Amino acid sequence: MDPTDATPPSKPNPELDAFLTPEDVERIYQIKRGTQGVLRARRQIPFLRLGGGKIIRYSRSELAAWAAVRSIAVGER
């Protein structure tokens, strides 16, 4: 294999980085996938359905704003 023929590593696509998968949301926000499903059914979390409704994605910016409104600072009551 000739090293000059190697394709350069692909750069991250900023448009794709703007959306999170349910797995990403579970990892970042610690919201389990089952809970995400309940929140989606109740329309309590912003999300998108793609591919005929089978693919779920979350807008990174909308989810961050959603989480900021619902966060409670330590020591608050």
The tens digit of pLDDT for each residue in 23-66 reads 999 999 999 999 999 999 999 999 999 999 899 999 999 999 99
9 domain-assigned: no
Determine contact, residues 63/56, Cβ cutoff 8 Å. Answer: no
Closest CA to 70 of 41, 38, 29, 35: 29
51 domain-assigned: yes
13 domain-assigned: no
75 domain-assigned: no
Q: Which domain holds residue 46?
A: 20-70
Q: Which residue shows structure tokens 């996938």?
A: 33
Determine contact, residues 49/59, Cβ cutoff 8 Å. Answer: no
45 domain-assigned: yes
Q: What's the whole-model pTM score? A: 0.72
37 domain-assigned: yes
How far apart are alpha carbons 77 and 65 in whole angstroms?
21
The residue that leads in pLDDT, 70 or 1, is: 70
DSSP state of 63: H
7 domain-assigned: no
Residue 76 has pLDDT above 70, yes or no: no
